[in-house]
Structure 1
Amino acid sequence: MDNIQSKKKLPNKKERHRLFGSVDPGPRTKPHKKSEMADLQNTKKDFLFELDAVGISNVKHPIVVPSTLKPKEQTTIGKFYFASTISQDSKGTNMSRFTEQLQTYYEDGFKVNIETMKEFAKELQGRLKQKDADLSVEFPWFFERLAPYTDKPGMNHADAWIKVNYHYENGFDIKVGLTAKITTLCPCSKEISEYSAHNQRGNVTIEVTLDSMFDDETHDWKEILLEAAESNASARIHPVLKRPDEKMVTEQAYENPRFVEDMVRLVSSDLYEMDMVKQFHVKCVNEESIHLHDAIASITYDKRNE
């Protein structure tokens, strides 16, 4: 009983705060009402230079993503970027306007598609009282994938994004993109080996400039870009593979060997034939299975320059 320590008697919370440096509030002399506060960001003077971009980035927010593949509608997290140019006679921007508008769209059920993003950009340009508005959102997109022989379902995902720039004179510039994972089998390995061939996981990144009239309620750009990547690969990635499926996938990969150079040229050929695509960038990165390095290749092409 003598070894039982008595319970500490602590000072109250206010005294503890004082112990660690807190002090009483000082006198309040500046106004509390917004209408009486100085608005430094709306100051008009010659501030020497126009700014390319002013805004906020790395804004995470819940969104709804529609899809033509199952699940048809999914709730996920979007990472946003909002900005505009700032004229030389403007001090700066009001950062809260970006998140205020985001909250309004969220309360209305923010369904992230091209039409909604166009509306957002045009409204933001007017709210900021600048000549343009620039926004983008990145998000994981999930889609159901059936095993090639047994039809066992599972869930795959790709990283997708939409970028919209609106200029009050020039209109909209719309880019969409996607990074998909594929299987590639090495043509060299197949050619020189007595049997077998090494393969690797490839990462295909596609970003395209779309025609401003593209309607993604009729055509899902995510599925279109995913198909461009996967249909040109040695084989597709599957979340569920039973033995008959695995046999089918490995044989398909052996029948369709691909270098990274082959991948970007084949994907670019598909994109070139799409009327909705005005410009494209394709990159393939193979995570090599017999090297410590990755293999890369890329193509950028603008059909508007033809």
Structure 2
Amino acid sequence: MKDVQSERDERNIFIEKVGVSSIRYPIRIMDKQNGFQNTVALIDIYVDLPSEYRGTHMSRFVEVLNRHRNNMSLSNLERILDDIKQELKAKVAHIILKFPYFVLKKAPITKEESYMDYECAFIASKDEKFDFILEVNVPVHLLCPCSKEIADFGAHNQRANIKVRTKMDKLVWIEEIVEMVENSASAPLYALLKRPDEKYITEKAYMNPMFVEDIVREVSILLNQDDRITYYEVEAISYESIHNHNAYAYLHRDKKNYKD
């Protein structure tokens, strides 16, 4: 059959990324408590496309995934990218796996156990060198310091999402990133809270008010102290309860090149 994708293209335009996105696929992730946990990822895979080719072979991306279906893990990402480069005759390959990661947490007072899910991602690429970023999204509770200061009683509260992206030279567990963020917030979130737990969390948040600027700085301090982490980004979005907009803060540091 005629291979239309491999037809020569005369427009002489290089494309940085071509491929497939949002492939739903089962994966196995390293779990600090249990060794591994199974989850389902949405996977994007891309390669570069030289200017002389009209298109890429989309089916080959899925074929590579199927070839590695019994080892869709962090430790195997570089090998998957090497196979993609070889199969598509590409100079660079990219893969993004977005997945929910579950942590069993105990409520602070009653110690009731429930699973909290955290949206995470593995973001990897390979040209001559392998590059990997771990992304962890941590929902937290923030209480406004300004509101607490000016009100005779009470203060407005909101849920916020803190996104942390890290590069590392030694393994950093997802649970460790979650702990850093939750310790930097007004209070953590839980899937299950009984009334004594709700009382504790409400009072904890009231005694620990945080702007989005505060939490990105607090998380930054903890990431700076971790010698395994070489680069990081911290993004905070607070879904404001008394405003029709969100509050936002962001910072990043390349620890190898950053100076105060």
Q: Do these two structures clear the TM 0.5 threshold for a shared fold by scoring above it?
A: yes
- Offset of 1:246 from its aligned partner? 1.9
- My pick for the range that moved more, 187-196 or 131-140, is 187-196
Match of 1:263 among 177, 202, 215: 215
| Amino acid of the structure 2 residue aligned with 1:199 | N
1:209-237, CA deviations, whole angstroms, 9 ceiling, x for partnerless residues? 333xx34xxx42x1122122111001111
State which of 164, 173, 177 in structure 1 corresponds to 2:131: 173
Q: CA separation in 2, counterparts of 1:139 and 1:237?
A: 19
Aligned residues of 1:47 and 1:91 also touching (Cα < 8 A): no
Inter-partner Cα distance in structure 2 for 1:174 and 1:74: 20
Structure-1 separation of matches of 2:190 and 2:9: 59
Report the number of matched residues: 258
> Take 2:167 and 2:52, find their aligned partners in 1: how far apart are those partners?
32
Matched, 1:39 2:3: yes
Q: Does 1:112 align with 2:93?
A: no
Q: Which residue of 1 aligns with 2:162?
A: 204
Q: For residue 151 of structure 2, what is the aligned residue in structure 1?
A: 193
Query: Are 1:83 and 2:43 counterparts?
Result: no
Is residue 2:186 matched to residue 1:234? yes
Within the candidate set 272, 286, 289, 2:238 is matched to 286
* 1:160 matched to 2:123: no
- Report which of the two has the higher share of strand: 2
Between the aligned partners of 1:165 and 1:133, the Cα distance in structure 2 is 6
The answer to whether residue 212 in structure 2 is matched with residue 252 in structure 1 is no
Over residues 42-69 of structure 1, what are the superposed CA-to-partner deviations in whole Å (9 max), with x where a residue is unaligned?
3457651221111111111122233114
Which amino acid is the alignment partner of residue 76 of structure 1? T
Decide which structure has the larger Cα Rg and report it.
Answer: 1
TM-score (norm 2): 0.91
| Kept in 1: contact 2:230–2:254 (CA 8 A) | yes
Q: Secondary structure at the match of 1:60?
A: strand
Q: Which residue of 2 aligns with 1:97?
A: 60
1:55 to 2:19 alignment: yes
Matched position secondary structure for 1:84: strand
For the residue of structure 2 that corresponds to 1:304, the secondary structure is coil
Give the C-alpha shift of residue 97 in structure 1.
1.0
Confirm or deny: 8 A CA contact 1:69 1:223 kept in the other structure.
Answer: no
Consecutive unaligned residues in structure 1, runs of 5 or more:
1-36
For 1:303 and 1:73, how far apart are their aligned partners in 2? 30
TM-score relative to the length of structure 1: 0.78
Check 1:189–1:156 CA distance in 2 against 1; reply closer, same or farther (3 A cut). Answer: same
Q: Deviations over 1:47-103 (max 9, x none)?
A: 512211111111111222331146x53332211111111223333321111001111
Matches within 5 A, 1:8-23: none
1:183 is aligned to: 141
Structure 2 residues without counterparts, runs of 5 or longer: none
Instruction: Answer whether contact 2:114 2:192 (CA < 8 A) is retained.
Output: yes
